[in-house]
Structure 1
Amino acid sequence: MPFINDKLKYYADERNRKEIEEKQKVPDVTDSPADQPIRKIQTRYRFDVEEVMKRLRKRILGQEHVLKNIENMLKIVWADITDSDKPLHIGLFLGPTGVGKTEIVRVLAEAIHGNRESFCRVDMNTLSLDHYAAALTGAPPGYVGSREGSTILDKEKIEGSYSRPGIILFDEIEKASPQVIQTLLNVFDNGVMTIASGEETIDFRNTLIFMTSNLGTKEIQSFADNKFAFLAKQAIYFFNPGNWGKRGRETVLDHLIKRRLESSFQPEFINRIDDIITFNWLERQTLFEIIDLLTEQINRKLLRYGCQLELDVSAKEFLVEKGFDKKYGARTLKRAVRKYVQVPLAELLIKQTAREGVSYIAQRSIAGIEIKIMHTI
């Protein structure tokens, strides 16, 4: 029975791997300082903070203040000096849609684990009712499914391994029911979630916890569109000249976000979050950088055809005109690239008019964007 044999071999290999990782653990420090062995400083985590940040800075544009916070967090985690009884990190990402809140978690998972999908993602809009808390902790005793201890959480991705932390993303946290929030509060406190059956636990103490929220999006957009009109509505700032200075933007937005958070979550929940970071809306110049990034991704796909694509300035300006929308962020830009670049490019490939060893250039035309042969590679 080859299937059974393969499964047995898989479990044996996993058991051997875990035993090897256990042997590599740093010995526990004894209670007596005199008994502590003299050894070089070492860390259990094997990811390189500098390499992780290089990848993040290449893929996440226009959010340098966010990346700086992520870098500081990774340094603390890598040094292994976090509270051992709580999750490694609890972060909340706020800001407009389409600015990279979810993408930054994907890239972080790719940089640490080598796979963009190596994290557990929970869409909190699916847990909007109180009884949906059972989707996290399993059905309580006496209810259907209680013995199975089923949960939507991926234990392996959450717990990670000895050398790499687990990652979980709670997307759109503001849409979760109060009961679900209370369940998360318990996790933030002790780092462990017990499945309702009582037979299994999920350990979050080796986990990076991220949450995203669109709280304050309308107000942030209003501030971006007309700063002075927005300030006029915020009397506490309108009558305080000190908030009109160089740091007026940060002061107003911080105050705004704080008010929205306090109206949506209990203080004890907010108080357990390590970092609350507001993403910037995308500026026009950042969109040109995103277009270059999207073009690079297209060219990686074109390697199989032996050709490549370049966008000239006129084509980029056209895409920015069609795709610049602060309300929807980079998503409208991606739709513009898909419509005006990828569709005509796909037509070339389908008709087999695209030739190997040829470089194509996308230029603005009366109809939109036209792709022409630039030169031979």
Structure 2
Amino acid sequence: MTAPTLTPEHIKDLPNWLREIDVALAANPQVAITGNLRDFVILPRPGTPHPRFATVIEALSTLLSIAGHSCQITFDIVSGPRVLHDNESGSAAAVLSQLDRKASDSGTTQLRALQQLLESVAVSERPMCLVIDNASRLTPGPDFSDPEFHRVLVVAEKLLSTARRNPVPGPHITPLYNTVFWLVDQENDLPHWLVATDTVRVVSIPAPTFGQRRTAVTSLVPSLPGGVDLDPTAREAVIESYAAQTNGLTLRSITEVNRLAIDRRIVATSIEDAIRTFRVGVPDNPWQDPALKQRIREGAKYLGSRVLGQQAPIRKTVDILIRSTTGLTGAQGSGDSSRPQGILFFAGPTGVGKTELAKSMAELVFGRKDAFIRFDMSEFSSEHAEARLIGAPPGYVGHNTGGELTNAVRHNPFSLLLFDEIEKAHPRILDKFLQILEDGRLTDGNGSTVYFSEALIVFTSNLGVYRTDSQGERVPVVSRGRPYIEIESTIRAAVSEHFTKDIGRPELLNRIGDNIVVFDFISPRTAEDLVPMFVDNVTRRVHSISGTHISVADSVIQQLVESACERLDFGGRGVGTIVETMLVNPLSRALFEMDISTAHATVTAITQDSTGWMVTLS
């Protein structure tokens, strides 16, 4: 079907980047076009309210035709030169015919043909334009050292000062250049000595705006299952939701979402399911699984059995999970949000269960241990460690391998991501979380987009627990025994001060919002519960390895509890250290020396002498 003819009066309806090129036709002999090159472009379709979806090449050709440039040639390294559009005189075909004769006489390579084509177009006495498609692929190397390619670029530079301007029948009053267009992935795919001049204009094609996405989906909704049956109010609601949820997607991707919805019979009112499936590649939505809702109903009990003495953090965590399963994440915003399903900032003393609660959340929600992915942010204290998270940029060693974070989410979008000791990360690395927390996506070193919209994000931190005094000593700010409300307010204030004043990232704190969860110190009552739990773990391990049943006398457990209560400032890890030092180490020694045929033994006492702790077995 022939594309409808556009006239100069339609230029005002074209995207801004095309209008910028229209301005450049009389002022710049060469134009470098970069940005969103592989997307569709929305062009008006005279006589109908429905737009036309065109490629960038087709849109550029349409603009040139409106301007009166009816003789257009395109070139790419695969197909070589060909006519893009020609007038009745056949000027473009004549130029290519002449090049073909030269090539047959001398065995010209593609790059040599491009050089000759550049020279022919630039000095032609007839109005003519050349579009070099995929110019970033003209040579396989990352630089401009290939002799033939370098000569093409040098010729292009020389032609900047010798390019002709010819009268063109159209809306422009002054003569127009025989413009050469370079379509490149990035501006630096051409040497700076070519593009960094006043005579070469660089035009960037941006990602589609909300208005452009809305225009696109308006024409697509009727093709969805049930789309034509929607009443005007329902259709408008679907269009608004569709356009809002496709933020970050190209127009080409939106058309693919539409095809996916049609293929999987997803009705128009459930278009968010098609968008999510397109982004993460998984058709099922575990967040809407009835089994998950049932597990979360028992969530406080389950998490409370794994993390002792932290009722307030557990209650806050369960509230976040309930919000996610009801689909209300980000519901306070004006549009449908693609933010992560949950964002939590666990703060408090060491060893009180922050990491354990994150692990338990992952198992509760996703039902598997491999859904828990931990990043120790002390390993990302240097600015250059960013490459480990998202991958090295092109041209650097390892850029093809991707980043640890982006790879993990790409392979497992339904997961819990724990960023441990976040305050130790370099502030430049923290900037990466701005896009993750706000838009639920991140671009890796290769330029691919990774979506975090199905993940849980958990940060942990010890901010506000200690400070460095004037002598450089680390002294506690909060201590065990103070009321929880006082501990919570002190730690929250320290977290706020760190992000706003210390590192100057208040926008990151704003995205975390009120999801700062403060953990309390381990209490003696919690220690009384932890010690038997740790002892049971030890006895089960002994039985699984050696088959020996070990019992521990109540008096021994009480002795361990009393010692553990003296180390509560170190949290659960301090309790575990006491059990290891007083029970596990001497028990290991006793079992090593014991007759392996012993089926049962009881630890009746633990004692200490100058050599260390010992157990008495009977």
- Asked whether the 8 Å contact 2:548–2:601 carries over to 1, the reply is no
Corresponding position of 1:209: 457
The normalised TM-score by structure 1 is 0.74
- Asked whether the 8 Å contact 1:216–1:257 carries over to 2, the reply is yes
The one of 211, 216, 224 equivalent to 2:479 is 224
Give the superposition deviation at 1:329: 1.7
**Larger RCO, structure (CA 8 Å, separation 6 or more):** 1
Greater Rg by CA: 2
- Structure 2: any 5+ residue segments left out of the alignment? 1-260, 272-286, 331-336, 468-474
Corresponding position of 1:78: 325
Corresponding position of 1:358: 600
Give the superposition deviation at 1:207: 0.3
Corresponding position of 1:372: 617
The one of 309, 321, 325 equivalent to 1:62 is 309
Give the superposition deviation at 1:27: 4.5
Q: Which moved more, 1:88-97 or 1:309-318?
A: 309-318
User: CA 1:45–1:212 in 2, change beyond 3 Å: closer, same or farther?
Assistant: farther
Corresponding position of 1:44: 289
Corresponding position of 1:190: 439
Give the superposition deviation at 1:315: 3.8
* 1:297 corresponds to 2:542: no
Aligned structure 1 segments of 4 or more residues deviating by more than 6 angstroms: none
User: CA 1:139–1:154 in 2, change beyond 3 Å: closer, same or farther?
Assistant: closer
Distance in structure 2 (CA, Å) of the matches to 1:299 and 1:111: 26
Q: Deviations over 1:193-242 (max 9, x none)?
A: 111211x3321000000011111111694432686xxxxxxxxxxxxxxx
Distance in structure 2 (CA, Å) of the matches to 1:369 and 1:51: 42
- Asked whether the 8 Å contact 2:388–2:403 carries over to 1, the reply is yes
User: CA 1:74–1:95 in 2, change beyond 3 Å: closer, same or farther?
Assistant: same
- Asked whether the 8 Å contact 2:421–2:461 carries over to 1, the reply is yes
Distance in structure 1 (CA, Å) of the matches to 2:477 and 2:606: 32
Distance in structure 1 (CA, Å) of the matches to 2:312 and 2:385: 35
Correspondence 1:324-363 to 2 at 5 A: 324-353=566-595, 358=600, 360-363=602-605
Distance in structure 1 (CA, Å) of the matches to 2:412 and 2:265: 17
Corresponding position of 2:506: 267
Corresponding position of 2:430: 181
User: CA 1:113–1:365 in 2, change beyond 3 Å: closer, same or farther?
Assistant: same
* 1:285 corresponds to 2:537: no
User: CA 1:249–1:31 in 2, change beyond 3 Å: closer, same or farther?
Assistant: closer
**Number of aligned residues:** 320
User: CA 1:311–1:102 in 2, change beyond 3 Å: closer, same or farther?
Assistant: farther
Distance in structure 1 (CA, Å) of the matches to 2:597 and 2:606: 22
Distance in structure 2 (CA, Å) of the matches to 1:93 and 1:248: 17
Instruction: Give secondary structure in 1 for the equivalent of 2:419.
Output: strand
User: CA 1:246–1:209 in 2, change beyond 3 Å: closer, same or farther?
Assistant: closer
Instruction: Give secondary structure in 1 for the equivalent of 2:456.
Output: strand
Give the superposition deviation at 1:319: 4.8
Which letter does structure 2 place at the counterpart of 1:102?
A: T
User: CA 1:120–1:269 in 2, change beyond 3 Å: closer, same or farther?
Assistant: same
Instruction: Give secondary structure in 1 for the equivalent of 2:543.
Output: helix
- Asked whether the 8 Å contact 1:311–1:363 carries over to 2, the reply is yes
- Asked whether the 8 Å contact 1:66–1:279 carries over to 2, the reply is yes
Instruction: Give secondary structure in 2 for the equivalent of 1:370.
Output: strand
Which letter does structure 2 place at the counterpart of 1:342?
A: V
Which letter does structure 1 place at the counterpart of 2:537?
A: Q
- Structure 1: any 5+ residue segments left out of the alignment? 1-21, 33-41, 228-244
The one of 254, 258, 265 equivalent to 2:496 is 258
User: CA 1:366–1:350 in 2, change beyond 3 Å: closer, same or farther?
Assistant: closer
User: CA 1:273–1:337 in 2, change beyond 3 Å: closer, same or farther?
Assistant: same
Instruction: Give secondary structure in 1 for the equivalent of 2:511.
Output: coil
Give the superposition deviation at 1:359: 5.4
* 1:132 corresponds to 2:385: yes
Identity %: 26
User: CA 1:277–1:29 in 2, change beyond 3 Å: closer, same or farther?
Assistant: farther
* 1:172 corresponds to 2:421: yes
Give the superposition deviation at 1:70: 1.0
Instruction: Give secondary structure in 2 for the equivalent of 1:90.
Output: strand
User: CA 1:136–1:340 in 2, change beyond 3 Å: closer, same or farther?
Assistant: same
Which letter does structure 2 place at the counterpart of 1:118?
A: A
Corresponding position of 2:394: 141
Distance in structure 2 (CA, Å) of the matches to 1:281 and 1:158: 37
Correspondence 1:80-119 to 2 at 5 A: 80-83=327-330, 84-119=337-372
Q: Deviations over 1:297-337 (max 9, x none)?
A: 12322333141323424543345425633442222221221
Instruction: Give secondary structure in 1 for the equivalent of 2:392.
Output: coil
- Asked whether the 8 Å contact 1:43–1:78 carries over to 2, the reply is yes
Corresponding position of 1:235: none
- The CA RMSD measured in Å over matched residues stands at 3.3
Corresponding position of 1:4: none
Q: Deviations over 1:282-304 (max 9, x none)?
A: 12221111111112212322333
Distance in structure 1 (CA, Å) of the matches to 2:430 and 2:379: 13
- Asked whether the 8 Å contact 2:549–2:601 carries over to 1, the reply is yes
Distance in structure 1 (CA, Å) of the matches to 2:409 and 2:484: 43
